[in-house]
Structures are given as C-alpha cells and as structure tokens.
Amino acid sequence: MKYTFLKRECIVNGASGSAPEQELHSRRALLRYIGGIALGAMTTSVLAACGPAAAPATSGATPAAAPTIAPTAVVASPTTAPRPASASATTAPANPTPAAAPAGAPSGTLRYANADFSNESMDPINLESPWGFALYDSLLTFDQQGNVVGNLAENYSLSDDGLTWTFQIRKGVKFHNGDPLTAADVVFSLQRFGSKDSTNPWSPYLLKNNQSITAPDDYTVIYTAQRPEWPLKVPFAWVRIWPNKYFNQVGQDGFQANPVGTGPYKFSKWVPKTSMEFDANTDYWGPKPQWAHIIETFVPEEATRVAQLERGDVDIIGALSFDRLVELKNNGFRLQEVGLPTLASLCFPATWMTQGPTSDIRVRQAMSYAVNRQEISDTFYKGLGKPGGWWFWSEQTWGFDPSQWTADAYDPDKAKQLLSDAGYPGKFNPQTITLYTNQVMADLMQVLQGYWQNVGLQTDIQVVDSAVWLSLSFVRVKSDTDKQVGAVMPSAQTSFFNNVYHSANLFTSTGTRSTGNDPQADQMYQAAVTELDPTRAKQLWQQMMHYGYDKMWVNVELTEVPTYFVLGPNVGAFTYKQYLSMQDAYVGIQHA
C-alpha cells in the first residue's frame, strides 16, 4: 500500500486537523491487529486545489482562523487590571512551591502543554476562542446533565408565545478591570455575537431570529425573537459577555491585545505560538480558583509533551495516541477525561442524485453491518473506545435514551445478502464507492475498507487535505457532478449536549452536509423545534432522530472514544465543568 501526499501551502490554519484528532485517528501501526481482514490495496490520492471551507453549527469541529491581530511582542495585562505580584513569573519551576498565602487563597502554578493553540484568538466572534472559556463567562451554561442553566444570567424565562426571552442578570459581578457587570454589557455582547461580523458558528442562529434586544433596567435583558424557537437557549449558552465600556475605549485590536472578562482567570501574558498565561481572579463570583497562575505552552510534538510530563516540567498533557495513553497509565500517571467523547461516523451525501451504489439504502446498510465496531474499539483504540458514534448524539445528549440506541451489530452475512438484494455490483454505475477523507482519519478508513472488501464491496479512498475535505463536507451540493455526490464522507467530532442544530445540517433539506432531502424529516424537525412544551418537544425530537437513523440511513455510527488528558503528580481532582473543556475546568482543578 502506498500513500502519495502532496505538500500544500493552503491547508486550513497550517494544519490538516486538530492535534487531538490527529492522534485519535492516526493509528497506522495498529492495522495489523485487525484479524481476518483482507486489507488489499487502497487507491489513494490527494486533491491539490484549495477549496472554500464552510462549517456547520458545531462547537468543536470548526476550523480555526487566523487571529485578528497577532502581535509579535509579549503582551502585558491591561493597566486597569494589574495582575498580582505573586503571579509574576514567566516560567514555571518543575515543582512549584507557593509562597505563604492566606487560607483559601489560590497558590502555585499549573502548567499545561497544549498540542494545539487553534487560532490564538481572544475574541469568540473570531470563529472561537478556547482561552475565552477561562477569561469570560457565558450568559447561560450547561450543567453536568446537559441542561441549559443560568450563569451570568442568574435565571431566564421564555414567554408563552415563545417569542420573548427574559434574562435576570447576576448582581455584584465585576469585570477584571473593576467595572461592574450590568445589562448594558449583556445587550452589547448579544448584539456583537449575533452580528454579521461574527464568524462563530453559533452566531447565525441569533442573527436570523432576532427582533430586538433591550434592557429595561440595569439587571434585566429582554431578547425578542421573530419566531418561536426554543433551541435558541443553546447559542445563548455560547455568548460570552464582554465589558461594553472597556471594549469601546480600546477597540477591537486593543481588546485582542488586552482582553477583559468576568471569568475565573485574568489575562496575564501571551507570546504568540509559544505560550499563554493566566492569573487567578480572586474576586470571582463563582467557585474560587485553586491555582494562582496557569501557563499553557504550545508543544505540538507528542514525544516532547510526554518527555516534559515525565520530567515534571509540565502537569497536564493531552492529544495522545492510545498507545501512549496506555503506556503512561501503566507507568502510574492518571488519565482524566475532559469534555464529551469523540464520535466517529460516516455520512452519505446526495444519495438521491447518484446512480451509484449509495443510492440504494440496502448498500448503505450493508456498509454498516460489514464493520466490526467492537474489534476496532479493542484494537485500533486499545480497548478505550466502544461502538457508537452517532452524529453529535450520545448518552450525554438531550433526548438520548440508551435503551433505544445500540450500534449496528457486526453481521457480514447480512451485509452480503443486502448487497445481493440491491443488485450490487452490476446494477450500479459507477460500481465503486468513493470515500473522501483527510489525513486525520485515513488510517481508520483503511480499516473500514478491509471490512467492506470482505463482503465484496469495492471502495476508493481519496485522501484530500482538510481545506478540500471541509468544502466537500460542509457545502451543500448544487449539481449531480459535484464530487461528493454518491460518495462517503467520514466525520469525527466531539459530542454535544444538544444536537438539534447539528441535526438540521444532517437530516434537513437545507443542511450543509447534503445528506437530507426528505420532506417528512423537514416537517418533523420544524415540529420539534417550535414545540414549546418541554416534554412534548423531547418526544418529537426522539421521533425525529429515530426517523433519521431508522428510515433515512444517511449517517452510520462507528465508534465513541473518550477525550483523555494525562496528569502529573501535582494535580488533584477536577471538580467543575470538566465535562465542557480544559479551559472551562481550570477553576475547579484541585491541588494534589
């Protein structure tokens, strides 16, 4: 088997995928463990042309853009919010020993070797800002059960007609520069996040359903929608709140250089492509930070991150291959799951526009039954994965009932019968199914190709760069000559607490995945998102999901894999929002 990869200068953000994804699916060395599979030869090629990249409304699968401003010099904290003298160190010792501090005061330095600095933006309207989850607070948030609950809005309500959202803003909260939080800051933030200037994938939902945003007093905000749409509470949980007065004083570039929020950690120092530092916000209104200082360093090489952890130079590393995870665990390091699991699946775009094999639902079903998910979980993922992986749909997702959702069984005989019943291969033109993947998932797709070959199904795996893959995955087809028509598009993304908007992209006739073209699915989707009775809305959504998977067969689940980090001996329990992200979890990380 031979891969031919062409070097390209236009890969999105200079990388073919996030570091966690790269480590998750780059497992060429484990292919030999998949017993009984005739892997055969795989036709691979790289499409050399750069294409436009459009993204769905997701939190974790969006490509990163270049920062609005990228200063080359070290950036200091804003003068209106000086950082404490106790956190002035620019580097962390191997075993930090905090100075004497008042009881309960944050102490010590937490050091995280991060494999991916993303777009290094401080501003969530620039696609996203992972660091922003430590610097800012959102209007609403998610609890551990995935419910949307109050945050800077202490509580919220929706009117009986589904048009008026009322937010009661938390009193006594201060920004890092000392300015008090008021409703004016919330109105400013909602307007800015929901504007055409924002490239955050959650912003269009507010932009397209916003009649007015007003503040009748200093602690009340009223958001009036154009039409009933209860899932709007999800993008409300993505809106970070910024200080209106300070932002207008310093402008966009000034804010990028010296961001101010209300979050548990303050901006301290940023060296582009090198490090990011935070200081504890000792006046934080929520759980009190335990670490006085946090340093994130950019360390893209896995071997370097592992060596730093083993020497005690850093406390946390992630984005590791499963071989490394098992090795480090066996050597006494602790694994910590952060965030929701990663879900791998296959999508079938434009099945109604092709004369090829995927036009027949029986072929798509055969491709599912031919795959031994348990074997992949045990070998490819070293026993750390499990069968599953529906599109943003897992045990943590609103509406998911584990008793009703089981991954398809491995049944090669059934797969062969389905192919025979469909008249494969003679009935179809072309007879070979093309699968487009980026390098991140190429090895996993090679494993699947072996399973499909075992049941007599021929596939041609085209390895393309991420810019091309994104343009094929998230731009709706316009013609039956488009490359993705009749193809298979794999996907790996982090699960989410509410998959309503994600599923619009998958199942509806306007979705960017180009997999939906079913009027009944469109009607079921609209019925679910406009139903204001919570119990009835959940029932309608469960029916929608069953229709999508049981009747449409345009997405096939593969595997579900936890997102693991490895901790050094100085790090204790993760006690707060570890189900969201590392930056969300910072405030709840304890000392060992």
Spacing of C-alpha 364 from chain mean position = 26
- The residue among 573, 591, 77 whose CA lies nearest residue 292 is 591
User: Whose structure tokens read 């019943």?
Assistant: 421
The answer on pLDDT for 489 being more than 80 is: yes
- What is the helix (H) or strand (E) element at residue 165, kind and residue range? strand 164-169
The DSSP code sequence of 287-325 is SPPS-SEEEEEE---HHHHHHHHHHTS-SEEE---HHHH
Cβ neighbors of 48 (< 8 A, separation 6 or more) are 6, 8
pLDDT of 84 over the 60 cut = no
Peptide bond into 402 cis (omega under 30): no
Please report the pLDDT score of residue 65 as a whole number: 31
The arithmetic mean of pLDDT across residues 491-502, rounded, is: 94
What's the mean pLDDT in 205-213? 97
What amino acid occupies position 336?
Q
Q: DSSP string spanning 349-387? A: TTGGG-SSGGGSHHHHHHHHHT--HHHHHHHTTTT--EE
Q: Can you tell me the mean pLDDT for 141-154?
A: 95
- Band (pLDDT 50/70/90 cuts) for residue 142 is very high
Answer whether residue 558 shows pLDDT above 50: yes
The percent of residues above 70 in pLDDT, for the chain, comes to 83
Between 508 and 24, the higher pLDDT residue: 508
Residue 81, pLDDT score: 32
Model confidence at 440, pLDDT cuts 50, 70, 90, reads confident
Average predicted confidence (pLDDT) for the chain: 85
- Report how far residue 285's alpha carbon sits from residue 171's, in angstroms, rounded to the nearest whole number: 10
Q: What is the pTM of this model?
A: 0.80
Percentage of residues in the chain having pLDDT higher than 90:
79
Q: β-strand 153-158 against 164-169: which pairing, if any?
A: antiparallel
Other Cβ atoms less than 10 A from the Cβ of 213: the count is: 19
User: Which whole number is the average pLDDT over 491-519?
Assistant: 95
In the three-class reduction of DSSP (H, G, I as helix; E, B as strand; rest coil), residue 442 is classed as helix
Instruction: Give the separation between CA 313 and CA 94, rounded to whole angstroms.
Output: 5
**What DSSP element (H or E) covers 275?**
strand 275-280
Mean pLDDT of 413-434: 97
Least confident of 40-54, 312-326, 399-413: 40-54
The arithmetic mean of pLDDT across residues 336-348, rounded, is 97
What the block records as the tokens of 152 is: 């800077």
Q: How far is Cα 535 from Cα 163, in angstroms, rounded to an integer? A: 19
Residues of the chain with CATH 3.10.105.10: 17-49+343-561
Comparing CA positions, the residue from 214, 209, 213, 212 lying closest to residue 227 is 209
CATH (residue range 140-245): 3.90.76.10
Task: Write out the DSSP string of 197-261.
Answer: T---TTHHHHHTS-SEEEEEETTEEEEE-SS--GGGHHHHTT-B---HHHHHHHHHHHHHHS---
303 pLDDT above the threshold of 90 = yes
R_g over Cα of the chain: 24
- Asked if the model's pLDDT at residue 2 lies above 60, the reply is no
For CATH 3.90.76.10, the residue range(s) in the chain are: 140-245
- pLDDT of 104 reads 79
- Asked if pLDDT for residue 361 goes beyond 80, the answer is yes
What gap in Å lies between CA 226 and CA 210, rounded to an integer? 6
- 3-state SS record for 88-121: CCCCCCCCCCCCCCCCCCCCCEEEEEECCCCCCC
Quick one: CA dihedral 454, 455, 460, 465, positive or negative? negative
Q: Which of the four pLDDT bands, split at 50, 70 and 90, describes residue 470?
A: confident
Residue 84 contacts residue 279 (beta carbons within 8 Å): yes
Cα separation, 267 vs 76, whole angstroms:
8
Lowest mean per-residue pLDDT among 74-83, 325-334, 489-498, 522-531: 74-83
pLDDT at 100 over 60: no
Give the right CATH number for 17-49+343-561 from 3.10.105.10, 3.40.50.2000, 3.10.20.30, 3.40.50.12140. Answer: 3.10.105.10
Residue 177 has pLDDT above 60, yes or no: yes
Q: Per-residue pLDDT averaged across 106-125, rounded?
A: 94
Inform me whether the pLDDT recorded for 45 exceeds 60.
no
- Angle between helix axes 412-421 and 361-369 (nearest 10 degrees) is 160
Nearest to 139 by CA among 250, 265, 232: 232
Most confidently modeled range among 5-9, 74-78, 152-156: 152-156
